[in-house]
C-alpha cells in the first residue's frame, strides 16, 4: 500500500507527544493523494500544474499520514483485481497491516496518539478501521486508536439516500412534481436495500443521483455552488491526474515509474459494488462507547451533506443520543468570520462547515484545520474555535 507521511511543522510539544492523524479518501477507490495534494497536505496542486504552499495544512501540529486505500487505489498495487477488497472487514485488515508496517519503520510512533480520519466513502473505512483496531487492542494489540473523524461520509446509505429530494426541493433545484418522482427513485433503492439486493440497490441509488444532477443542471452534487467539478479545469480536465502522472512527480513520491495513476479507480468501484448500500452505522454506535467521534459536513454538499448525515445520526442506538440532540447547536467563528455550527455531547461531535461542499478542507482549509486541531485537543466548542 502506497503511503506518504509529513511530520509536524510547528510541534508545540515534544514531537514524541504529537498525535498522528491518518487520512483516508473515499470513492470507493479514490487515491489518498487527493487529500494530500488538493486538501490537507502541506502542498497543493493548482491549475498551473505547480505546487503551492497550503496556507492551513493539517500537519501544523500533527504528524499526517496518507494511505492509498483500498489496495488497487492510486499507487497501491493489487496483483490482480481479485486481490482488491470487496468488503469493509477486508479493508480494515489491510489498513491495519499497513499501519503495522508503517510503525515498524518508526517504532517510537506507536507511543503517539492516533486518530483515523477521512471523507466520503471513508464514512465506512474510518469506523471499520477504528472498530478493528479497538478489537485488536482488547486482544493485546499494541496499536492505539484515540478517535475517529468523518467528513461528508456515506455511512448509513438506506437512510441517507432518502434525503436528496427533500433537500433539492428546499434549495429550489427541483419543483414539487420532480420531487415526487425523485422520491420514487429513492424508494426503489430503499426497497432493494431492504431486500439485500445489494448491486441492484447501488444501481438504483446511482439512477436517483444521476437524475437529480441532470435535472437540476448541476456540475456535480458535491457542491451546488461549483460550475466545474473539484480539481478540474474549466473544460473539466482533471488537472490533479495530469500532475501526478508526470514521471518526475512519480519519482519524487517514490511511486513505481510505470504505474498509471487515476484519481478514482473504476475497477475498485466494480469490486466494491455490493458494499456500497451496506451500512456501517452499527460500527459508529460501537465506537461511541469507546472513543470520541467527529462527524462534519460542508454546507453546500448535496450527496452526503448536512441533512443526509443528521437523518442517519438520529437513528443511532446510543444512550447519549437524546442528550446530544438536546444540546444547543451554536455558531462558531474563526478569525471573526462565521465558520459554521457545532453541537457536542459526550463522545459525539457534529460540525457544519459554512460555505463548503463535499471536500470541506479544499473549500475551507483554515476552518477545517481549526476544527480538527480543536477536536483532537478536546476543546471543540464555539468559544474555543474562535482563532
Catalytic positions, written as ranges: 120, 301, 358
Confirm if 295 and 309 have CB atoms less than 8 A apart.
yes
Helices (H), the chain: 33-34, 88-105, 122-138, 157-160, 164-170, 176-194, 198-216, 239-244, 247-252, 266-271, 281-287, 306-313, 321-326, 360-363, 365-376
Q: Are 190 and 311 in contact (CB under 8 A)?
A: no
The answer to whether 149 touches 125, Cβ cutoff 8 Å, is no
Cell numbers that stand for 62 in this block: 500533527
Strands 147-151 vs 114-119: parallel, antiparallel or unpaired: parallel
Cell of 170: 428546499
CB atoms within 10 A of CB 269: 16
DSSP for 107-121 reads GGGGGS-EEEEEETT
**CB of 125 within 8 A of CB of 88?**
yes
Strand partners, 51: 45
Edge-to-edge strands, sheet with 147-151: 3-6, 63-67, 20-24, 114-119, 147-151, 293-298, 348-353, 337-345, 330-334
Amino acid at each position: 500500500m502506497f503511503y506518504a507521511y509529513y511530520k509536524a511543522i510547528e510541534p508545540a510539544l515534544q514531537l514524541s507527544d504529537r498525535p498522528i492523524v491518518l487520512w483516508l479518501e473515499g470513492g470507493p477507490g479514490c487515491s489518498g493523494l487527493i487529500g494530500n495534494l488538493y486538501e490537507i497536505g502541506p502542498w497543493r496542486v493548482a491549475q498551473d500544474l505547480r505546487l503551492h504552499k497550503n496556507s492551513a495544512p493539517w500537519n501544523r501540529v500533527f504528524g499526517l499520514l496518507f494511505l492509498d486505500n483500498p489496495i488497487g487505489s492510486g499507487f497501491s498495487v493489487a496483483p490482480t483485481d481479485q486481490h482488491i477488497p470487496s468488503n469493509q472487514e477486508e479493508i480494515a485488515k489491510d489498513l491495519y497491516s499497513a499501519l503495522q508496517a508503517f510503525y515498524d519503520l518508526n517504532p517510537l510512533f506507536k507511543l503517539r496518539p492516533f486518530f483515523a480520519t477521512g471523507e466520503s466513502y471513508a464514512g465506512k473505512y474510518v469506523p471499520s478501521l477504528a472498530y478493528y483496531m479497538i478489537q485488536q487492542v482488547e486482544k493485546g494489540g499494541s496499536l492505539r486508536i484515540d478517535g475517529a473523524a468523518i467528513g461528508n461520509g456515506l455511512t448509513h446509505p438506506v437512510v441517507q439516500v432518502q434525503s436528496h429530494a427533500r433537500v433539492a426541493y428546499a434549495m429550489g433545484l427541483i419543483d414539487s412534481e420532480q420531487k415526487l418522482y425523485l422520491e420514487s427513485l429513492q424508494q426503489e433503492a430503499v426497497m432493494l436495500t431492504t431486500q439485500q439486493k445489494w448491486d441492484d440497490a447501488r444501481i438504483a441509488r446511482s439512477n436517483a443521483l444521476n437524475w437529480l444532477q441532470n435535472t437540476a443542471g448541476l456540475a456535480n452534487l458535491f457542491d451546488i455552488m461549483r460550475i466545474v467539478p473539484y480539481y478540474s479545469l474549466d473544460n473539466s480536465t482533471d488537472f490533479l491526474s495530469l500532475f501526478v502522472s508526470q514521471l518526475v512527480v512519480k519519482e519524487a513520491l517514490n511511486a513505481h515509474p510505470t504505474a498509471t495513476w487515476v484519481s478514482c479507480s473504476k475497477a475498485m468501484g466494480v469490486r466494491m459494488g455490493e458494499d456500497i448500500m451496506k451500512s456501517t452505522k452499527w460500527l459508529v454506535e460501537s465506537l461511541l462507547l469507546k472513543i470520541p467521534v467527529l462527524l462534519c459536513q460542508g454546507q453546500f454538499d448535496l450527496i452526503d451533506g448536512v441533512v443526509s448525515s443528521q437523518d442517519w445520526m438520529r437513528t443511532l442506538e446510543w444512550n447519549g443520543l437524546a442528550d446530544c440532540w438536546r444540546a444547543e447547536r451554536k455558531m462558531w467563528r474563526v478569525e471573526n468570520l462565521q465558520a459554521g455550527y457545532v453541537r457536542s455531547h459526550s463522545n459525539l461531535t457534529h460540525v457544519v462547515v459554512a460555505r463548503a461542499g463535499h471536500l470541506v478542507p479544499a473549500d475551507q482549509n483554515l476552518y477545517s484545520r481549526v476544527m480538527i486541531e480543536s477536536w483532537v485537543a478536546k476543546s471543540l466548542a464555539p468559544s474555543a474555535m474562535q482563532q
